[in-house]
Structure formats: C-alpha cells, structure tokens
Amino acid sequence: MNKPNDLVSSIDPDDIDCNDSPNEHFNTVLNARLSRRSLLRGGMASAATAIFGAVGLSACSSDDPAPVAPTPTPTPTPVPTEKLLAFNAVPKTLADMVTVPAGYTASVIYALGDPLNGTTPAYKNDGTDDNFDTRAGDHHDGMEFYGLSANGTATTSSSDRGLLAVNHEATTDAKLSSFFLHANGGVTTLPRPVAEVDKEVAIHGVSVVEVKKTGAAWAYVKESSFNRRITPLTDIELSGPARGNALLVTKYSPTATKTRGTLNNCGTGKSPWGSFLTGEENWSGYFVRGAADDAARAGDKSIASLKRYGRNQGAASRHGWESAGSDDKYARWDISKKGASADGSDDYRNEMNGMGYIVEMDPYDKSKSARKRTALGRYAHESAAFGNPVVGQQLAVYMGDDSRNEYIYKFVSTAVWAAADASASDRMATGDKYLDSGKLYVAKINADGSGQWIELAMSNAAIAGYSAYKFADQADIAINARLAADAVGATKMDRPEWCSVNPANGEIYYSLTNNSNRAVDPSSSQLAPDSSNPRAYTDMKGSSAQTGNPNGHILRMKEGAGGSAATSFTWDVYLFGAEAGANGGFVNLSNLTADQDFSSPDGLAFSPYTGICWIQTDDGAYTDVTNCMMLAAVPGTVGDGAKVTLNHPKANGGTLAVDTYVGKKPTAETLKRFLVGPVGSEITGICETPDGKSMFINIQHPGENTSQANLADPSKYTSQWPSNAGYGPGKRPRSATIVITKNDGGRIGS
Ligand code: FEO
Ligand code: CA
Ligand code: CA
Ligand code: CA
C-alpha cells in the first residue's frame, strides 16, 4: 500500500520507522572498516567471483562451522519450450488502463464488492452497498491459484478451473474514512458510525473465490460453494510456540489460544502441501493507545514492545474503529491497559500481540480454521517463500519485514520434507508438522559479499542478556522478533517486501522497495548507505527532491553449505531500480534502458512453469512519468556481475566508500517491461495456471490519490478503472483481479 492522503493517514504505513536500535550504526562502522580493508588488499578483487571464492566463503567457514549436508536432490527445473521474453516491451505510460504487449489480452474478472453468493445483491458501486463479508474485499494484494478438477477436488494439474486466494490488504482512505465505500464519503471525525466501521472492517482480510474458464474466457463463479471470506472478525487459532503464552491473553481468549481475524494482508505464499499463507503487514496502525498508557502499565516491558512495533502511548488509529461503540468488537481496537487483572484477561492490552504473523489456511476447506504460525515470528510480514523442497531435508521459509530499516528472516522447520506430504489429505495438520516447530533466523549481511543467518533463540547470549528487553522464552522471542533481531545486530534493510526462490537454482530474491532514510551524512534518524543498501542520492519528481534510496533494489542470496538449513550465504544485488537516464555511476548501476527502467519493486515471484522472474512495482517516485508496472526477467546467478565501489561525496569534502556487488547487467533479452497499470494503482499478486497460459494479477488502489473532497465529481477521480474498461457500474475506482492470456494460446512471457 502506498501514500494515503492526509491527517491520521498522512504517513504511508509502509514507511513507519520503528527501529531505533543502534546495531546498524555498529554495522556501518564495521562495514566501512571491512570495505577499507578490501580496498587495501588492492585491486585483486575486481571480479565478484574472486570475492565470493576467496573472501566470502572462507570468511564464513572460519566463523561458522559448516553443517554436514545431505546431497541435495535437484528440484525439477522449468524448461522453456519456447523463446522467453519474445514480446515487444510495453512503453512507460500514464494512461488510465492496463497496457500489455501486442498479442496479449488482459481482462477484469473479480473486483471490490463483487458478490460471493447468490443472495448478495449485485454491486452498485455508489457507496450504498453493504454485506462486504459476502463480497470481494478491497485492495487486492498477494494471491495464489489452487487447481480444481472437473468434479471439484484439489489438483495441481488443472488449468481451466481453480480457486484464487486473494489478500485484501487495506482501503483507499483520506480522513479516517474509506471514502469510496460510503455514499457521502463517510464521517471524518470521531466517533465513527457503526455502519461505516462494520463495512470497513469487512473489506479487510482474505477471500477465496472460484474462477473458471469457459471457451477462452475466464470468470469468477458467484455461487461456488468454495467461496469464502476471512475478515478481521473471523476466529483464528494461535499455533506454534506462542500459543497459550501470557503475552497473548485477552478478554476474548483468556487461554491465549485464539484471536479474531487477520489484518492488512499483503504478500502471500503457497506451501509445498498446497495450503495458502498470508502475511499480516501494517496492522499496528489500526490500534489506538491511550495517552497515559505508559503509566497504566507501570513500567512493565510491554512498553518497549509496543514502541518497537509502532505504538507509542497516545498513538491514534488509522480509521477510529475503536470509537464505534462499546461492543467488544470495537473495544478490541483500543489496546490501552484498562482492566484490573494482572494477566490482561479483562481488557485488550495484549490484543496487538495477536497480529503480525504468517497465517495459514486451507483454501479448499472452509470448515477448517486458519492458524497463525507464530514460530515464523511477528513483524510486518510480506510474502513467505519456500526454498525448493528436497526430500529428507528441512524446509526453509524466507520472509521480510517491510518497514524502513527492518530485517530479512528465515524459518527452518524441525521436520524434514517427505514427498508424500505434497498430496497430504489434511493440509492444516501438515502445516502443524512443518510450521509449528523450527528455528527462526535473521540475516546479517557483510560488506565482503558474505552473510550469516543468526538464530533467534535464548541460547544466544546477546538475546538472553539483552538490556533493552528482557526475553522470557522462545514464545517471547517469536512475538517480539524485531527486538530479538536488534539484540543480535541484524542488518537494517531498505524495506524488504516480497521474496521468491528461483526454481532453477534455489537462490533467494528480495525486493527492497525504497528507503527515504538513507543519507551519506546521516542525521540521528537516518542510516548511512552500506554494502547491501549502498545508494543514497537525490531524484527529482517535478520540483520535489526525493532523497535516500527512492527507487529501491533487488537483493539476491545463495545459501552456503547445508542448503535450506545453512547458516551462511553469499549475496549480490540483482537489479537496482532507476530511471533510464540517471547517473550510471551512483544511481542506474544496472544500466536499465527505457524498456526496462522501474522504481520501487514490491511484488516479486518466479514462475514455477516458465522460470521467468516477474517484478511488480508499488511506486510513488517515478509516477510523474509512468504508472506502476510489471516486468519479466530471466536472471543469472549470484556473483555473475562485478564488485563496484561507490565513493559517495560527503559534506565535509571526504568520501564514504561503499563496496557493493552488482549483478550482471540485464540485456534486452533478459529484462523487459510487460505491463503498465491504471493511474494510482500498485501492481501486485501474481499466480498462474500450471500450463503457464493464464496469469492472474491484482490491480490495487487505482485512483488512490483522489481527494475525498472530489467524491461527488467522477471527472475529478484520478482513475475510473475498471469501469472505463467495461467492468461494472459506477465510476468509483475499484481494486480488481485481472487475467492475462496470450492470443495465440502460448505461455505468458513468451
Ligand atoms: Fe503491503 Fe509492503 O506492501
Ligand atoms: Ca508496497
Ligand atoms: Ca524522477
Ligand atoms: Ca507489498
């Protein structure tokens, strides 16, 4: 999500910076020392291969004894049967439409408000619609496809019928209200009316919707028995180490075993056993905390936790849902300590500890409760990407925490992968097996091209003895993963968004979308560039100067010895986002051309069928020139490029030398823009049918920058999509799923 307009929502929730731990400054000093040392070693390290071979791996092995690794079974690699990226690149454009290459067709199939059963009325799109718990939610985001056979059973081979599990992250808001959802734009002062709040709550969460192809045309199936909504009010089980923990006791669940709903669902994942994973991202902003709550909590350690997760005392909530009345379903959004109990069973002081997880659900079975997998840690989750599973080895799940200066994580299961589990009949029980027990790691990235995965556990003395927060046990570490990562000196990144694993070689790609808080001469709230976040520059958008790393980059990691369970890795930067004309020495380090340039990578997913790496943007920096986009890429491998030293000029006349590793520069054959979206939209959510011939993606928040004051005048909406593409009544813009097909019946991206 990106750039709400004003008042309470004047800060992009993605951009909240809650990390004031000192570890990055230490890292920066260390990295600067390392980079000087590398320079002193002379020009020997001009080739990245030399770095990785001579410095990176040997440095790792001395710090970190290599585990004994079973011989990996190679994962089947997608084999292109046709020339990939043969389409003509789509030019940058500000047109209010979805633009795809010649020879392709994009069609809208599932938009905000579409009914999910036969009794919910058709969507009028005039602000009078209700019953959103039986309609498509808002702000479609991450999404996965689950095949259905002709007789309605789960299959991985169907390419003409299936279920889409769709995240509904948030809503287009201005002054508190989701204004496109209300006839008059909604009430913009507190208290918020019950009817408005009930609608706004229900448009969040997840939907499961059946889609079906008839002839060449896809449509969603309104009356499918598989259709399902999960909202912030749906009962969800807490699972893993934090289940039953004192930090999760609430009035609603004194046994700390369940919570209500999932919120701000952003990236997704698909497990090797066919379940759906959804990441809870900017949930913190939905809670209000009283101005005197520190005193009410009498100095207990929850204050440090709340601060680290973005809720200082006096913090206002994004929509004021707590103000709609005394009913418990509204009261829960106020996390002030109000009750007299010692354990929190008479109020919602611990309610926020129930949000911030990877949530697993079975898309095929709506009788089964979703489960929050607490072992994977609590933070602002994006996607959850599994390493390529190898029989007899532990499973790795890669994840990021999307806020400025947050971290990259990995979970490694205790259980080793059994091939029979790929077709397990009880998918949630299989999730219990792999996702409730294991080790959680955070990434520390070194300037020499190496890195370590550091386990977050009480056995780590830095965690057990951390002075800023006294950890009690592994449940406490999972719930307060950010604090544990601070304690071990993890590397602060430029906002980790999605990650994905290359099916061809197991390398892990992370979108680092942007960071306005990098500076060569940093203030106390900023960070100096470091090797894996090496840029700090000024980009002009009209007359406004955007500083830091406005265009983002894509980090790439290769596991060391041990495969999924490795505790060391090597890395480089696959691509740097930039404008094609930008300075090639400091900004356009990947030498992007006009057919390739992009800003703020966010969604990122490898196709398991073609092997193409799809890159999607959620940008506010380059939107004076182009709407957000999706690109197709055929990347190489970690270390295929070269080491580059950026000599940033400092204010005092000196230079800050930062070594980084730039992946091999793309060519016209290996990176090409495939799609540009409507005005104000983010391009997100990507999945395909197994034949690779139908691709589903999401268009999130078209018309986002419309002023609430202009609601009565559709001509002033910044976007009228998808009604201007012939989908549905009314001119209010709607988030929607589209399907892309190739007119000659070929695979997408060929
Ligand atoms: Fe919901 Fe970090 O994007
Ligand atoms: Ca985003
Ligand atoms: Ca610019
Ligand atoms: Ca995102």
* Predicted local confidence at residue 620, as pLDDT: 97
Beta bridge mates, 238: 372
Q: What is the β-pairing status of strands 508-512 and 496-501?
A: antiparallel
296: part of which helix (H) or strand (E)? helix 293-296
Protein residues placing their CB within 5 Å of the ion ligand 3: 539, 541
- C-alpha dist (Å) from residue 183 to 5, 126, 180, 548: 19, 6, 8, 40
Domain enclosing residue 705, as ranges:
94-149+174-230+678-749
Helices (H), 526-595: none
Q: For residue 630, which of 592, 601, 591 has the smallest C-alpha distance?
A: 601
Ligand nearest to the CA of 401: 1
* Predicted local confidence at residue 78, as pLDDT: 77
Ligand 3 midpoint to CA 666 (Å): 21
Ligand 4 midpoint to CA 327 (Å): 32
* Closest ligand 1 atom, residue 281 Cα: 1
Kindly state whether residue 711 falls inside one of the protein's structural domains.
yes
* Closest ligand 1 atom, residue 169 Cα: 1
* Predicted local confidence at residue 19, as pLDDT: 86
Count how many domains the chain has.
Answer: 1
Q: What is the β-pairing status of strands 371-373 and 235-239?
A: parallel
* Closest ligand 1 atom, residue 266 Cα: 1
Phi/psi region, residue 624 (left: phi>0; alpha: psi -120 to 50; beta: rest), is: alpha
Ligand nearest to the CA of 92: 3
- C-alpha dist (Å) from residue 624 to 32, 593, 598, 704: 36, 18, 12, 14
Ligand nearest to the CA of 578: 3
695: part of which helix (H) or strand (E)? strand 694-700
Ligand 1 midpoint to CA 159 (Å): 29
- C-alpha dist (Å) from residue 425 to 364, 370, 422, 428, 429: 11, 16, 9, 9, 9
Ligand nearest to the CA of 406: 1
Ligand 1 midpoint to CA 50 (Å): 36
Sign of CA dihedral 562, 566, 570, 574: positive
* Predicted local confidence at residue 684, as pLDDT: 98
Kindly state whether residue 286 falls inside one of the protein's structural domains.
no
* Closest ligand 1 atom, residue 264 Cα: 1
Judged by DSSP in three states, 553 sits in strand
Query: How many CA atoms within 13 Å lie on the side-chain side of 306?
Result: 26
Model pLDDT for residues 189-241, shown as the tens digit of each residue: 999 999 999 999 999 999 999 999 999 999 999 999 999 999 999 999 999 99
User: How many residues make up the chain in this entry?
Assistant: 750
What's the rounded Cα separation, in Å, for the pair 673 and 570?
Answer: 28
Spans in the chain with pLDDT lower than 50: 1-11, 24-74
Estimate to the nearest angstrom the gap between the alpha carbon of 470 and the chain centroid. 29
* Closest ligand 1 atom, residue 402 Cα: 2
* Closest ligand 1 atom, residue 141 Cα: 1
Kindly state whether residue 404 falls inside one of the protein's structural domains.
no
Ligand 3 midpoint to CA 640 (Å): 29
Ligand 4 midpoint to CA 495 (Å): 10
Residue recorded with tokens 């999401």: 698
* Predicted local confidence at residue 6, as pLDDT: 32
Ligand nearest to the CA of 282: 1
Kindly state whether residue 740 falls inside one of the protein's structural domains.
yes
**The two structure tokens encoding residue 491:** 């590397």
Ligand 4 midpoint to CA 1 (Å): 7
Model pLDDT for residues 311-335, shown as the tens digit of each residue: 999 999 999 999 999 999 999 999 9
* Predicted local confidence at residue 364, as pLDDT: 98
Ligand 4 midpoint to CA 657 (Å): 31
**Ligand 1 surroundings by CB, under 6 angstroms:** 1, 14, 169, 266, 281, 382, 402, 497, 602
* Closest ligand 1 atom, residue 495 Cα: 2
Ligand 2 midpoint to CA 52 (Å): 32
Neighbours of 178 (CB within 10 A): 23
Q: Strand (E) positions, 353-506? A: 358-361, 371-373, 381-386, 394-401, 404-406, 408-416, 438-445, 450-455, 493-494, 496-501
Residue recorded with tokens 């075993």: 257
- Name the residue with the closest Cα to ligand 1, atom 3: 1
**The two structure tokens encoding residue 445:** 């990235």
What's the rounded Cα separation, in Å, for the pair 101 and 551?
Answer: 24
Kindly state whether residue 264 falls inside one of the protein's structural domains.
no
What's the rounded Cα separation, in Å, for the pair 679 and 5?
Answer: 15
Ligand 1 midpoint to CA 140 (Å): 11
* Predicted local confidence at residue 38, as pLDDT: 30
**The two structure tokens encoding residue 6:** 């004003």
Judged by DSSP in three states, 245 sits in coil
Kindly state whether residue 658 falls inside one of the protein's structural domains.
no
* Predicted local confidence at residue 313, as pLDDT: 98
Phi (first) and psi of residue 515, to 5 degrees? -160, 110
Ligand nearest to the CA of 684: 4
Ligand 3 midpoint to CA 621 (Å): 6
Ligand nearest to the CA of 581: 3
Q: For residue 431, which of 488, 381, 358 has the smallest C-alpha distance?
A: 358
Ligand 4 midpoint to CA 170 (Å): 11
Ligand 2 midpoint to CA 1 (Å): 5
Kindly state whether residue 510 falls inside one of the protein's structural domains.
no
Amino acid (one-letter) located at 525 = S
* Closest ligand 1 atom, residue 282 Cα: 1
What's the rounded Cα separation, in Å, for the pair 648 and 665?
Answer: 22
Estimate to the nearest angstrom the gap between the alpha carbon of 391 and the chain centroid. 28
Protein residues placing their CB within 5 Å of the ion ligand 2: 602, 618
* Closest ligand 1 atom, residue 170 Cα: 1
Kindly state whether residue 743 falls inside one of the protein's structural domains.
yes
What's the rounded Cα separation, in Å, for the pair 699 and 735?
Answer: 6
* Predicted local confidence at residue 79, as pLDDT: 72
Phi (first) and psi of residue 6, to 5 degrees? -155, -175
